[in-house]
Amino acid sequence: MLIQSHDEAAGPSRSGRPLETAVAALALRLARVAGPRLGNPVLDRLSQVFARRHPRAAEALAELPAATVLVDPTDLPSGLLLRLGPGGLRLRLCDAAATTADAMVRGRFGALLDLAEGRIDGDALFFRRDLTIAGDTALVVALRNALDGEDIDLLAEIDAAAGPIGRFGPKARQHAAQTAARVAETLSGLRSALLRPEARRLDALERRVARVESRVESREP
């Protein structure tokens, strides 16, 4: 029932928000390392916060018949199993390769994150083969529409689920983003400094070529 992804190294699906993607990926890895006894209560808390902050989507997902959707990020070791239906949304980490579900959504983690937040169009990802779906298509469509109808910020959901500690989340990310920007700026300056002598040589060569061309043209009849 599962469809193989076509090109897992495809560039266009890479998220435009590398820091946020890295933070979310780290959270997923930590939850995996922590194991189900520690990880499951955190995921349950996240589901509760999601239901409180997005009642329209929570209601729509609860109205679906009981079903499971496997979310399989191709660049992470863990998958996420979503249980939908009368009990509301429930999340569990899983081994994607060993898990069967009623439907499956597969793509790069950054693209899946953007899709969940409605920052990218799912059909567009599908058209360019950056997203693979299989199984119950209606279930995937219902899930997509329920999420897309909200203004979701997954990191804000994680902050909210973390309670008082979560208040430090936005500040920490802002600080990290500023640091990352400074590092990028420094690297860019360093690169320019290293390449400056080469650039000078190229300029000199261009000038010489131009002079030669000019001489040749002046000798033509």
Binding site residues, other proteins, CB under 8 A: 2-4, 6-7, 12, 56, 60, 118-124, 126-129, 132-134, 137-146, 148-151
For other proteins, the closer of residues 7 and 206 by Cβ is: 7
For other proteins, the closer of residues 12 and 35 by Cβ is: 12
Long-range contacts of 17-26, Cβ-Cβ distance < 8 Å, separation of 24 or more: 17/110, 17/113, 17/114, 18/110, 19/173, 19/176, 19/177, 19/180, 20/113, 20/155, 20/173, 21/109, 21/110, 21/113, 23/155, 23/173, 24/109, 24/113, 24/154, 24/155, 24/158, 25/73, 25/76, 25/109
CB of 52 to other proteins, least distance (A): 18
CB of 125 to other proteins, least distance (A): 10
Contact 42, 93 (CB under 8 A): no
For other proteins, the closer of residues 128 and 167 by Cβ is: 128
Residue 210 and residue 44: Cα distance in Å, rounded? 70
CB of 132 to other proteins, least distance (A): 8
For other proteins, the closer of residues 139 and 160 by Cβ is: 139
Contact 104, 67 (CB under 8 A): no
CB of 124 to other proteins, least distance (A): 4
Residue 107 and residue 129: Cα distance in Å, rounded? 9
For other proteins, the closer of residues 128 and 207 by Cβ is: 128
CB of 46 to other proteins, least distance (A): 21
